[in-house]
Amino acid sequence: MEFIDVLIVEDEPTIAELHSYYLQRTHRFRATGMANSIAEARKIIKIMKPQLILLDNFLPDGNGIELLKELNTQPNPPDVIFITAATDIDTVREAVRCGVFDYLLKPIAYERMVDSLDRYLKYMSSLKASDNVSQRHVDDLFNFQAKHTHIESLPKGIDELTLDKLKALYKQSDEAYTAESLGDALGISKTTARRYLEFGVESGLLDAHIMHGKVGRPERIYHRKQ
């Protein structure tokens, strides 16, 4: 089996380890290095020549977007999945201009990362399938860079970004939340938190039960569906 060598550029060790874990789960990718700065990434790229980079933007010695621009001046640059908390359109535009394979926003919903890695595998397989291409083949190659997982229309009052934050929070631990504690964790109102929690139950993501305390009214508590 041919492996795809990946460099993880991320200055938060816990997140870097999570990236590595999800790479291992695919059985086709392997993390050949981890860098916590642009300077360290440059050294590893020069030595290891990774095929793919998971590139964080905000790093101790600069922004990953600058490294991305630098790589694009080199012959046969590695492919990049850009990972950042930056939601400004200028960063998005620059990343697209530099030809990133995908752009993932923090906090990452890891099913979204798995989807991106899966599409990258299909993209690489399609590249190797033939020396000559038809228009359909070209169309397929470009389509692999568009998220193909079907996303149903979200109901009114539920936005994808906040929902992804809820999913990421539940993936980090087995902790259960009430509407109040989730609101505190995500920085949203108790009413808004309850709306997202109930949507999580309806969509099969969460389970809920009533917790009876010694004092006060019973409270609805939500935990990740097992």
Q: What is the pLDDT of residue 148?
A: 47
Say what the pLDDT of residue 177 is. Answer: 94
The pLDDT value given to residue 135: 60
DSSP state of 164: H
Average pLDDT, the chain: 84
Distance CA 32, CA 139 (A): 31
Instruction: Name which of 41-45, 94-98, 109-113, 187-191 the model is least confident about.
Output: 109-113
**What is the rounded distance in angstroms from the CA atom of residue 34 to the CA atom of residue 20?**
9
Distance of alpha carbon 66 from alpha carbon 51, whole angstroms: 19
Return phi, psi of residue 129, to 5°: -70, -30
Instruction: Evaluate the CA torsion angle 113, 117, 122, 101 in order and state its sign.
Output: positive
Query: pLDDT for 121-136, tens place per residue?
Result: 888 877 766 565 556 5
More confident residue, 78 or 212: 78
Confidence of residue 151 (pLDDT cuts 50, 70, 90): very low
Peptide bond into 13 cis (omega under 30): no
Instruction: List, in order, residues 6 or more apart from 139 with CB less than 8 Å away.
Output: none
pLDDT at 29: 92
Stated pTM of the model: 0.61
Find residue 53's DSSP bridge partners: 7, 80
pLDDT tens sequence across 21-78: 888 887 789 999 999 999 999 999 999 999 999 999 999 999 999 999 999 999 999 9
Structural domains of the chain in order of their starting residue, each with its CATH number = 4-143 (3.40.50.2300), 160-224 (1.10.10.10)
pLDDT tier, 182 (very low <50, low <70, confident <90, very high otherwise)? very high
pLDDT at residue 152 tops 60: no
Q: Which residue has the higher pLDDT, 37 or 200?
A: 37
- For residue 103, give the amino acid letter: Y
Phi, psi of 218 (to 5 degrees): -60, 150
pLDDT of 149 > 50? The answer is: no
Ranking 7-21, 81-95, 128-142, 176-190 by mean pLDDT, the lowest is 128-142
